[in-house]
Amino acid sequence: MTNQNWQFDTEQSLVENHGLKIDEFERIVEGLGREPNLTELGIFSAMWNEHCSYKSSKFWLKKLPTSGERVIQGPGENAGVIDIDDGDVAVFKMESHNHPSFLEPYQGAATGVGGILRDVFTMGARPVANLNALRFGDPNHPKTKHLVSGVVGGIGGYGNCIGIPTVGGEVNFHPSYNGNILVNAMTVGIAKKDKIFYSAAAGIGNPVVYVGSKTGRDGIHGATMASAEFDEDSEDKKPTVQVGDPFTEKLLLEACLELMKEEAIIAIQDMGAAGLTSSSIEMASKGNVGIDINLSKVPMRALNMTAYELMLSESQERMLMVIDPSKEKMAREIFKKWDLEFEVIGEVTDTKKLVLHMNGNEEASIPINILVEDAPEYQREYIVSKPSPPVIFNPNEFDDKKILDELVLMVSHPNLCSRKWIWEQYDHMVMADTVVRPGSDAAVVRVHGTNKGIAISTDCSPTYCKHNSFEGGKHAVVETWRNLIASGAIPIAITDCMNFGNPEKPEIMGQFVECIRGMGEACSKLKYPVISGNVSLYNETNGVGIYPTPAIGGVGLIRDLSKTMTIDFKSEGNIVFVIGESHNHLGNSQYLSIVKNKEDGGPPPVNLEEELKNGEFVLNCINQNIFQSVHDVGEGGLLVAIAEMCLAGNKGIKIDIKKEFLHGYFFGEDQARYLVEVSKDKLNNFESQARDHNVQIEKVGVIEGLSLKIESIGDIDIKALSRHHTDWFDKFSKN
């Protein structure tokens, strides 16, 4: 007996196998006034898990800034929407597909791409760019090579087949991901401001229509699996991984966009996590209506499927719509033309309930509010770990003569080496609007038929977040902001993918809270709001969690594509400057990790005033055509950034710098810094502008020759440096 005096006939193990706590089950019984049947239990399991309900995170997510002068749609829809002038909007979101990708790397990554594409074109946007943020374990771990190969193959396979360019992203390695990799997929689409579609069902009696592929048994309990830790039995969860078909998705994309032009769609929702369950309930909830569904009418590709299976299947390439009944015939013909399923499976009602029938029997009847508004919301206990203290370094402990050898070690390391091996497997030029390819600070894609573009970047430094979650959260935001600035774009908004361990552990929840706090402070100061995103928790194996990883995807506007900046050095004789202050911050740096094999000290502090001032100055100079190339100074520090500019442009540089602590200057990861290339005829204007804006600049060197030369230390040939930079992935893939 419980406090409510209910006698449960449902076995506790069945409840727990559905990812529900006993007290949550008690809430279900109290809300229904009875025990749920198996189908209803499955529906509650899907809607109340972390992946769909955000029950551990939504209290804190509400504290993030989500509005701005260019924000048309913030969090709460399939994707966020921003105004990019001239009646155009950019629609974008980032989603995780971590657990499926660890179990089945190819299909997990592929369906992650497919899912985020549907989130975007559901809003009425044509997808124009895919990106990803990937985290793998130690390269020497026995599973890592298999996982890298499968994930990269899945991303490329799906994106290439559907014909959407994969234009950027990030790939990093760390032992904390040995048992739980991260695969975060991002898509950006373009639509007209007056042609955005939403998910709120409306119109009592209007038909509810199923379109796309048939429903099978793949992916059942996928959302629930994504809300649980891994253990030694995780391999048994492979059947929960969905199977994707990019060719069908292409047909679905074109059919949906064609129907949208006919103004036949009242509401539309992707069948993503939790499939028909989440799509129907979300549409009903947002429209404050009910939905009746006859499951016997759902197109099936497997025999004898039950109501439970039909509601929880996560078969891919499916959508749910409410359409204008007067246009049903026309809509049916469009989907028939594209060789896709089109079936009226239900109607909108005034009951505010989800009611399911099958073969003449009622299979479920649940008030929508119990599933959505009354879903659990926890303010979990949290502990804020003490940030790692700063580390003071003695310059005398470092040998300046080794700087170039150490640079080689760094640029050949898997976390800093060229990703060319990866992005060459992606079609990044299809659609012919990619302006800046992978390898620069941000990808740039033309808004088709115009001279404006959108810049896109993803970033995060999990080691920063581990050692100081507040500063790490700020850093993840400002890094994408600087990347957009460096490309010549006005940063507008971000999407996020919050990847963390078990939130029931106070120290993990503390990481989440502090990252949110840091992100919120940065977003507010920079006027760079969060308009969409995803939370992925329980990223653990056998109780060992990943490093906190709040991956950020930033989007900005370039009004005139002729102002676009890239990182490659352009012309011999031009002068290279660093903008921003250098404080020799080596704590928690890539230098310490790669060269010294240490992970000591707190991350570099983020001064948001400096970020704003220096970023606005850089953008102003770009608009005045003062720079020929620009590069954000990030992980690896100044010298790694210089090397990347040399390699991108196949040009050398002569550096003549005198510093007491040369290692700190070259490899410190101080924030709010940019490297810029200035021609001699623009020099006076540049220096004058810097004085007027009170921005610190320092000459680093002059572009010349075909080697990276540091006076009094030595030089290294650019070709040799390039070999070191590109060899790692080639060798890794072949060994």
The tokens for 585 are 């911050």
Through-space distance between the first and last CA atoms of the chain, rounded to whole angstroms: 60
d(CA 735, CA 729): 10
d(CA 610, CA 616): 10
d(CA 663, CA 667): 6
The tokens for 375 are 């879903």
Q: Which residues, at least 6 apart from 416, have a Cβ–Cβ distance to it below 8 Å?
A: 410, 590, 594, 635, 636, 640
d(CA 183, CA 151): 8
The residues carrying an active-site annotation are 51, 97
**Closest listed residue to residue 305, CA positions, set 213, 220, 212:** 220
The tokens for 4 are 């409510």
Pairing relationship of beta strands 714-717 and 653-655 according to DSSP bridges: unpaired
Amino acid at 559: R
Q: Which residues, at least 6 apart from 61, have a Cβ–Cβ distance to it below 8 Å?
A: 54, 75, 516, 533, 535
Q: Which residues, at least 6 apart from 347, have a Cβ–Cβ distance to it below 8 Å?
A: 205, 206, 207, 208, 291, 292
> Is 539 in a helix, a strand, or coil?
coil
**Closest listed residue to residue 291, CA positions, set 277, 305, 301:** 277
**Closest listed residue to residue 354, CA positions, set 201, 226, 221:** 201
Q: 83 and 194 in contact (C-beta within 8 Å)?
A: no
How far are the Cα atoms of 101, 532, 538 from residue 498, in angstroms, in the given order? 17, 11, 11
**Closest listed residue to residue 12, CA positions, set 39, 41, 55, 48:** 41
